[in-house]
């Protein structure tokens, strides 16, 4: 079992992801304020006080075996030394748009299932070398769905637990446009779905916890 000598905000967020809990659920399990969990996401380098260290120790020790295994794998992936890349090469990064409109969130359905088995997902696009994640987020959403959006908040970054790709997540506000499949070559459908029905389309264990937390706050 992975042993953490000193918990940081980053380790705490990894534990939350391994437990597959929203900010509210993780805070309730620890018996702390939701804003404290949000602060860990905002500042991964922060070191919680001694009492919080003990709460995190207990949560880790009492976690189901499968969750502890996920935690160990996520820690290993997070802190694995980077493999030297050829000159000029850049690691694959993807910008992901969580576009909301009233009580709905925008999803696209990929035309062909990939090896990960993911079908429905948020609009996304590869960030080109030298490109900005924010620009990619807005542009790819428009190119895929015909929806104009504006970025409201950076929700964080992670290595996707299924694909292993580095993902940057952005909460976006709907501005204009009718949702339609504007990229029929890659996508089969585009749809606004109720926020509280998101997990019917996207497996909950693949959703970045801050996304669930912010959608719950908006509901």
> Residue ranges of the alpha helices (H) in 80-184?
133-145
Helix (H) or strand (E) holding 40: helix 34-42
Structure tokens at 28: 């309730």
Q: Tell me the C-alpha distance between 48 and 56, whole Å.
A: 9
Domain residue spans of the chain = 9-79, 93-218
pLDDT, tens only, 63-97: 998 888 888 887 776 655 444 444 444 457 899 99
Kindly report whether the global pTM for this prediction surpasses the value 0.75. no
CATH of 93-218, one of 3.90.79.10, 3.20.20.210, 3.40.1360.10, 3.40.190.80: 3.90.79.10
Q: Which residue has the tokens 């437990």?
A: 19
Backbone angles phi, psi at 209, to 5 degrees: -50, -40
Asked if 22 and 41 touch (Cβ cutoff 8 Å), the reply is no
* Maximum average pLDDT range among 76-80, 118-122, 172-176: 172-176
Q: Which residue has the tokens 């900010």?
A: 23
pLDDT at position 86: 47
Residue 50 has pLDDT above 60, yes or no: yes
């Amino acid at each position: 079992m992975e042993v953490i000598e000193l918990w940081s905000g980053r380790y705490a967020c990894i534990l939350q992801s391994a437990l597959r809990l929203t900010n509210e659920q993780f805070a309730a399990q620890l018996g702390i304020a939701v804003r404290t969990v949000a602060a860990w996401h905002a500042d991964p380098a922060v070191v919680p006080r001694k009492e919080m260290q003990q709460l995190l120790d207990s949560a880790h020790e009492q976690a189901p075996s499968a969750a502890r295994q996920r935690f160990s794998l996520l820690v290993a992936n997070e802190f694995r030394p980077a493999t030297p890349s050829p000159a000029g090469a850049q690691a694959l990064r993807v910008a992901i748009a969580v576009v909301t409109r009233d009580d709905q969130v925008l999803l696209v359905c990929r035309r062909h299932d990939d090896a990960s088995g993911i079908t429905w997902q948020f609009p996304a696009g590869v960030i080109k070398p030298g490109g900005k994640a924010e620009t990619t987020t807005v542009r790819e959403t428009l190119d895929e769905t015909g929806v104009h959006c504006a970025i409201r908040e950076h929700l964080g970054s992670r290595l996707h637990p299924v694909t292993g790709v580095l993902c940057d997540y952005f909460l976006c506000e709907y501005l204009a446009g009718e949702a339609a499949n504007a990229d029929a070559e890659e996508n089969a459908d585009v749809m606004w779905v109720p926020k509280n029905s998101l997990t019917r389309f996207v497996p909950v264990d693949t959703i970045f916890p801050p996304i669930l937390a912010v959608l719950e706050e908006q509901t």
